[in-house]
Amino acid sequence: MDIPSKFKIHEIEHWLVNHRMDTTLPGYLMVGSKVGTNTLYDLPVEALASLGPLLAKAQREIETLLRPRRVYIGRYGHSPGHPIHFHIIPVYDRVEALFWKDERYRVLASFGQPAEEVGTDGAELTFFIWREFCEAPNPPPVTGPTVSDVVAMMRSAF
């Protein structure tokens, strides 16, 4: 996939870090392999060795610069033609508050229990972020730095 330069943050031999292109959530990053495989075991040893430090650096910079409540890191995609990639998702207090205000998602999280007795988990919040900040035609408003601001901040940090 060709990533426009306005989303690119950092590039090393085997990996590219970019802001997710189809999201309004500032700080949602992608770390994608530059090697054309969708499996970890097909990556060169050097690519595997550089992945951990790169994910750690991205997480640290998001936490330091943007101060989310949590940062999720995961691998979800398996579409043909897309190399292996990892999602780095900041979960801000305001995002979690929106989750709890939306009855559709609150039902998923609570399974009929009162909200004060239930916490959220990563899968539920990730689903919410994907649907509301990446796929919705009218995503919730965001406060704080914009996507462009975050790209510039992250470029400086790397």
Q: From the centroid of its chain, how far is CA 17?
A: 11
Q: Is the pLDDT of residue 125 over 80?
A: yes
The contacts of residue 45 (CB under 8 Å, 6+ apart) are none
End-to-end CA distance of the chain: 22
| The pLDDT of residue 79 | 74
| The pLDDT of residue 7 | 97
- Confidence band for 1, pLDDT divided at 50, 70 and 90: low
146: exposed, middle or buried (Cβ count in 10 Å: 0-12, 13-18, 19+): exposed
CA 10, CA 152: separation in Å to the nearest integer? 11
- pLDDT averaged over the chain? 90
Give pLDDT tens digits for 33-76.
999 899 999 999 999 999 999 999 999 999 999 999 999 999 98
Nearest by Cα to 70 from 24, 31, 10, 120: 120
Q: Where are the beta strands (DSSP E) in the chain?
A: 8-11, 15-19, 29-33, 70-74, 85-91
CA 9, CA 119: separation in Å to the nearest integer? 33
Give pLDDT tens digits for 87-109.
999 999 999 999 988 888 777 66
* Architecture in CATH of 1-91: 2-Layer Sandwich (3.30)
> Hey, where are the domains in the chain?
1-91, 93-140
CA 73, CA 90: separation in Å to the nearest integer? 9
